Amino acid sequence: MTPSISQMRSFVAIAKLGSFTRAARELHLSQPALTVQIRHLEESLRVRILDRNTRSVQLTRIGRELVPIFERLLGELDTVVSSVHDLSTKQYGIVRVACLPSVAATVMPNAIATFKARYPGVHFNVRDGVGGKILALLKSDAVDFGITAGEINDPEFKTSVLMRDHMHAVYLAPHPLHQEKKITAEKLAHFPLIMMDEESTVRQLVDRAFRLAGVTAKPIIEATYMATAVGMVQSRLGVAILPSAAIEAKPIGRIKSRPIEGKNFSRPIFIVQKAGRSLSPASESFLATLRALKFESSSV
């Protein structure tokens, strides 16, 4: 039989206080209950650790050797329990999240700042990438949850909608599109287009939207990074199609950004988690913060 934690605590208290009566008072136990604890401890160890009579209690040689060992074990246990308590109350911890670059640059900074104002001891590991990379990071347990777009038909994951994003036409003024009341797929097809590469969820949505509109649209330039696409726009090489959540899609100076008409140019942004897997208290609380935020600039 292995000694219990309560038995070790009882023995250490008696060793420090030199009295069953004082130890029982400190531990909030009755003296008979304390006596039973010590008897069970000696039975599990198969050795006497205390010599006691009606007047005094003395440690045996084995008892004296056990005191520092039990104190160290109990101290380590108390440290672990305290650390777990700190994690459960979000005093510290790490939130690991993988998300789309557009979300990482716009939504995440505000969400993290809001969360850290309440829980400054929590740290973040934010990894941005396209949808396939996000799911791969989740599968390998490199992150706690992901934020992505596109269809997810893998039963290993569960999803919930965080927000909706809409595609914008980004161009350099003056431009013929600036005179249009509405920007449609048909009107965009008359201009040179700058699109994201085929691996991105943005490109997959845009290709599908043009196809459903019955419009053929081929990009003259494909870019991996949205900043690259905007650089091409600044050189008047074409019109970029970017998600409204992206910081690169924000209008600034002569760079204009307008929504493209049609529900097919809109997409849900999902929170993705492993099905049946619990999150750490810090990650669970951060998700609640994310869901509570308003995404007016990114919603349709």
142-180 pLDDT tens trace: 999 999 987 788 899 999 999 888 999 999 999 999 889
d(CA 144, CA 146): 7
Structure tokens that stand for 193 in this block: 């287009």
> What pLDDT is stored for residue 222 in this prediction?
95
The mean pLDDT of 120-125, rounded to a whole number, is 89
d(CA 265, CA 132): 21
pLDDT in tens, 240-270: 999 988 878 788 899 999 999 999 999 889 9
pLDDT in tens, 38-97: 999 999 988 999 988 767 788 998 989 999 999 888 888 877 776 666 556 556 688 999
> What pLDDT is stored for residue 147 in this prediction?
93
The reported pTM is: 0.63
> What pLDDT is stored for residue 75 in this prediction?
84
Q: In this structure, are residues 91 and 279 in contact, taking their beta carbons and an 8 Å threshold?
A: no
Residue with tokens 């038909």: 153
Structure tokens that stand for 294 in this block: 């308003």
d(CA 125, CA 96): 5
> What pLDDT is stored for residue 208 in this prediction?
93
Domains and CATH numbers, the chain: 5-87 (1.10.10.10), 93-161+268-298 (3.40.190.10), 163-266 (3.40.190.290)
Q: What percent of the chain has pLDDT over 90?
A: 44
> What pLDDT is stored for residue 133 in this prediction?
87
Hey, is 87 helix, strand or coil? Answer: helix
> What pLDDT is stored for residue 105 in this prediction?
84
Euclidean distance between the first and final Cα of the chain, in Å? 65
> What pLDDT is stored for residue 244 in this prediction?
87
Query: In the predicted model, what is the mean pLDDT of the chain?
Result: 87
Strand partners, 167: 243
Q: Which amino acid is at 209?
A: A
d(CA 60, CA 54): 17
Q: Is the pLDDT of residue 296 over 60?
A: no
Q: Is the pLDDT of residue 209 over 90?
A: yes
> What pLDDT is stored for residue 92 in this prediction?
66
Strand partners, 181: none
Q: In this structure, are residues 82 and 100 in contact, taking their beta carbons and an 8 Å threshold?
A: no
If one counts every other C-beta atom within 10 angstroms of the C-beta of residue 123, the result is: 13
